Amino acid sequence: MYPILARAGLSLICLCCACSDGGGARSVDAGLPDRALPVADAMADASRAERGADATTGDAGEAARGDASSPDAKVVLSTRLAQTGQRGCYSALGAALDCDGTGQDADERAGLAWPSPRFVAAADGTISDALTGLVWLADANCMATHYAAVDTDATASVAGDGRVTWQHALNFARGVREGTFPLCAAGTSDWRLPNLKELQSLLDAGQPDTSTWLGANGFLNVVGITPYWSSNTMASQLKKAWTAELVGGSVGGFDKTGDHGLVWLVRTGASAGPAPVARTGAALCYDEAGSAVDCDATGQDGERRVGRSWPVPRFLDRGDGTVSDALTALTWLQDANCIATRYPGFDSDGTADGQVGWERGLNFVRGLNDGTYPDCAAGHSDWRLPNRTELQSLVDLSRAQPALPADAPFLNVSATGYFWSSTSDPLLARADYAWGVYLFSGFTTRYLKGSEARRVWPVRDTP
């Protein structure tokens, strides 16, 4: 097996492994590397793999597949995460700060920069995202615009507003594919209800209201307050499906029958962008009652499994207290709660559970880098508090308690753990909140920086 090789500009991950496909992952040796691939050879192989990427899915990982038993390694291109869009830094009280040295998201600006322009409108009523390669219907509420009579799910407002139950949303997407609703098809038949990660890719953490920003970038009828349905069931509550709201960016669950969300259709573009969306991990399908069903023709993410495949193995235990993620080119501290393990006294509330306030969490990471807390630094000095996108990248939507991939070799990940990100809510009225992820389910929401305590899980770029 080859060690991980990474170069910031190329995002190369070199593993003697194969990418998982819809038929499941193959078991491969996850032991330590036995020989290294020269960097020049890795770059050349990466170039060949990139040229051979599937033009339909944009999945260069699939084109670079190799036999794990072969002495010739294949290069798997990692899915480099994009920047969150955060532009400002804020204190625990919500006051604007100079970002320099804060360690906050807008100071670190980790990830790939967004292309400009990011969104490109076409005459057929679609808009392509140059960052992810996804193509979205320009009308973010096309059901209400052209087929209001189809919406018979009366809500707190009126029938015909586009707010429907989850199965109704899936049915509408199927109708668009089958030609029943041509005014929402833009002349193509490959539309789908987006999975959660595809919806999340639209969020701009630098905007107080992502829906308004999307409207300024050419989209029509984007609704902020009401969440949009995804094609994913919540693994922790099978009667609910994942949703994303576009005012601030909260990610949570709606009851499949009792709640009403919006429908926004997406399809895969002809080629992947520089930051293609990875698969969610979903492999099963569930009905409104939470019972497992045959995925065929459901339109659920468990059937379609779109996105960049996960490398196999995805995670590599480096043997130095860190774990590298071959999907994202990130390296995480193996101990997900090192404050509690090594420095319980840093947790000043007396609980010794490792949960601290947001600014205190940023200070702890700063202490890793300046040598104050060496037992949690693993010999490195370039740690950061992960941004919202980095934390979300760990979530496996097929799992819960915790919502992490089954083969992730992390330690001390509480099944009910809440973790801070370095990303603030950008609305000044809410800048005293920062985003966090609840790993019981993968739920993403805001937490008060000053009065709520959460865990700290440092990350760094894979060198």
Mean pLDDT of the 236-263 span: 95
More confident site: 195 or 225 = 195
pLDDT at 369 over 80: yes
pLDDT at 429 over 50: yes
- Cα angle 292-293-297, degrees, rounded to a multiple of 5: 145
pLDDT at 302 over 90: yes
Measure the CA–CA gap between 447 and 178, rounded to whole angstroms.
Answer: 43
pLDDT at 449 over 50: yes
Start-to-end C-alpha separation, the chain: 18
pLDDT at 230 over 60: yes
**Full-model pTM:** 0.84
User: Residue 121 has what pLDDT?
Assistant: 98
The pLDDT tens digits for 273-290 are 999 999 999 999 999 999
pLDDT at 65 over 60: no
Measure the CA–CA gap between 401 and 440, rounded to whole angstroms.
Answer: 4
User: Residue 66 has what pLDDT?
Assistant: 29
- Tell me how crowded residue 411 is: count the other CB atoms within 10 A of its CB: 13
Q: Compute the mean pLDDT over every residue in the chain, rounded to the nearest whole number.
A: 85
By mean pLDDT, which of 161-170, 194-203, 352-361, 422-431 is the weakest?
422-431
User: Residue 335 has what pLDDT?
Assistant: 98
Measure the CA–CA gap between 444 and 442, rounded to whole angstroms.
Answer: 6
Which pair of structure tokens corresponds to residue 39?
A: 């960097």
By mean pLDDT, which of 7-11, 431-435, 443-447 is the weakest?
7-11
Residue 155: which pLDDT band, with cuts at 50, 70 and 90? Answer: low
Mean pLDDT of the 7-15 span: 34
Measure the CA–CA gap between 312 and 17, rounded to whole angstroms.
Answer: 6
The pLDDT tens digits for 433-445 are 999 999 999 999 9
The pLDDT tens digits for 22-47 are 333 322 222 222 222 222 233 233 33
